Amino acid sequence: MPKDTVVKPATVTCTAPVNIAVVKYWGKRNEGLILPINSSLSVTLHQDQLKTTTTVASCRSFQEDRIWLNGKEEDINHPRLQSCLREIRRLARKRRNDGDSSVDVGCLSHKVHICSVNNFPTAAGLASSAAGFACLVYTLAKVYGVDGELSGIARQGSGSACRSMYGGFVQWIMGEREDGKDSVAQQVEPESHWPDLRVLVLVASAERKPVGSTAGMQTSVETSNLLKHRAESVVPDRMKQMIEAVHKKDFATFAELTMRDSNQFHATCLDTFPPIFYLNTVSRHVISLVHQYNRHYGEARVAYTFDAGPNAVIYTLQQHVAEFLQVVRLVFPPDNNNGKTFLTGLQVEPVEISEELKNAICLEPMSKGISYIISTQAGPGPRVLEDPGQHLLGSDGLPKTDA
Ligand code: DP6
């Protein structure tokens, strides 16, 4: 091929956030379409601390669709990846047939190369699939020129991914339809709504990989009556109360509902047969610490929540962060030899804690229980990176060596 006719790929790079649910999604009524048995609500975390970056390149010279995740080529035939690719291409074709001129007709017949990286260790067990699928769908949509509601497609990659399509406070409405068209995410409030809200991710030093959420929730649906009760009789009211607490920035209510919901989710895991244990001794120590701290002040100043693993996510307010962190350091003395900084993300100035507070915390120190803490806040939804220097794929359509 003469040099001046060498085909260059059309390349787009985007980033997408992690989200942490305060009303949990656990259980599907349709495995293929990923339709949940209850609605859920989450806070989108800031991408300055936690994000996935994805580059999609589309080119007529590509022979096949390919994907690289965190530096390694993976199987593009994974059914959930295929669902997202198929659905976004179907949507693009539909829009084009409906006369939408922004859809890139050329790209639609080309294969894509996808390269994706997280700025946090996958091993930290931080809902990487949510940010990953949200980023994939958002980036593909930009390549094909489709806008609008895309959370229903992200949902088909991983349920919780639909909530990462928006910033701030996001609900996933379970929907009723068999085809899942009404099972979509919706922003409840933007990230600017509650500027004092802070998030601390306490990364527990896990000994082993727990049961994955997809398999775990399937067993729960099959065996737990408590899960059925939760979905039918608890979550509908809790969603209303949580949305109101978010609207009003009522932290005490938000905190209590968050802790109760996490506890009920883990109770359904214990009610699953055979039971699933996501919380470990470190998690239980964090739970006791939070309750003792709140009891000392006679109000809920801090809340915990746990997903399908032992890491605690703490929600609190700006004015309590420094003191609570100091208490965490007391109960979980940092391991200074691990070469990492104990606290990463938003900086927090150390403070002195009172003797009364120290005496109120009756817990044995557990050294090395928490390996590090990420300090963050609510943040925006997916974004396009305009600078071509940030593409993870080179002009040859292959990962740059450092991607
Ligand atoms: C405990 O979204 O990872 O984090 O839909 O099977 O991919 P799949 O499951 P996934 O489940 C997340 C479960 C959770 C609670 C939540 O995020 O709401």
With a 6 A CB cut-off, is 44 part of the ligand 1 pocket?
Answer: no
Residue type, 271: D
H or E stretch covering 258: helix 251-271
- State the pLDDT at residue 1: 41
The predicted structure's pLDDT at residue 340: 60
Query: For the segment 18-68, what is each residue's pLDDT rounded down to a tens digit?
Result: 999 999 999 999 999 999 999 999 999 999 999 999 999 999 999 999 999
In one-letter notation, the amino acid at residue 78 is H
The torsion angles phi and psi of 159, rounded to 5 degrees, stand at -50, -55
Alpha-carbon distance values, 42 to 21, 168, 191, 369 (Å): 4, 8, 12, 26
Of the given ranges (184-188, 202-206, 355-359), which has the lowest mean pLDDT?
Answer: 202-206
Report angle CA 188, 173, 189 to the nearest 5 degrees.
5
Confidence of residue 15 (pLDDT cuts 50, 70, 90): very high
Do residues 188 and 167 touch, judged by C-beta distance below 8 A? Answer: no
CB-ligand 1 contact for 40 (6 Å cutoff)? yes
Pick the atom of ligand 1 nearest to 265's CA. Answer: 1
Report how far ligand 1's centroid is from the alpha carbon of 160 (Å): 5
The four Cα atoms 200, 245, 164, 305 give a dihedral, to 10 degrees, of 40
pLDDT for 336-365, tens place per residue? Answer: 755 468 999 999 998 999 999 999 999 999
Q: Which one, of 348, 355, 349, 312, lies nearest residue 330 by Cα?
A: 355
Confidence of residue 191 (pLDDT cuts 50, 70, 90): very high
Q: Is the pLDDT of residue 235 over 60?
A: yes
Rounded CA-CA distance 100/108 in Å is 14
- Cβ atoms of residues 331 and 289 within 8 Å: yes
For residue 294, the 8-state DSSP code is H
Q: 213: CA distance to ligand 1 center in Å?
A: 6
Closest-lying ligand 1 atom to the alpha carbon of residue 155: 5
106 C-alpha to center of ligand 1: Å?
Answer: 35
| Residue 160 in contact with ligand 1 by CB distance below 6 A | yes
Question: How many other β-carbons are positioned within 10 Å of the β-carbon of residue 306?
Answer: 25
**Whole-structure pTM value:** 0.96
* All residues at 6 or more sequence positions from 375 whose CB lies less than 8 Å from its CB, including other chains: 49, 198, 199, 200, 321, 325, 343, 344, 345, 346, 347, 348
- Radius of gyration for the alpha carbons in the chain, expressed in angstroms and rounded: 22
Strands (E), 153-235: 169-172, 185-189, 197-204
Closest-CA residue, ligand 1 atom 6, reads 214
25 lines ligand 1 (CB under 6 A): yes
Strand order of the sheet with strand 197-204?
302-305, 312-317, 197-204, 370-377, 343-345
Whether the Cβ atoms of residue 50 and residue 126 lie closer than 8 Å to each other: yes
**DSSP letter at 361?**
-
The CB of 162 under 6 Å from ligand 1? The reply is no
Residue 274: is the preceding peptide bond cis (ω within 30°)?
A: yes
**Contact between 39 and 161 (Cβ < 8 Å):** no
User: In angstroms, rounded to a whole number, what is the distance separating the alpha carbons of residues 173 and 171?
Assistant: 6
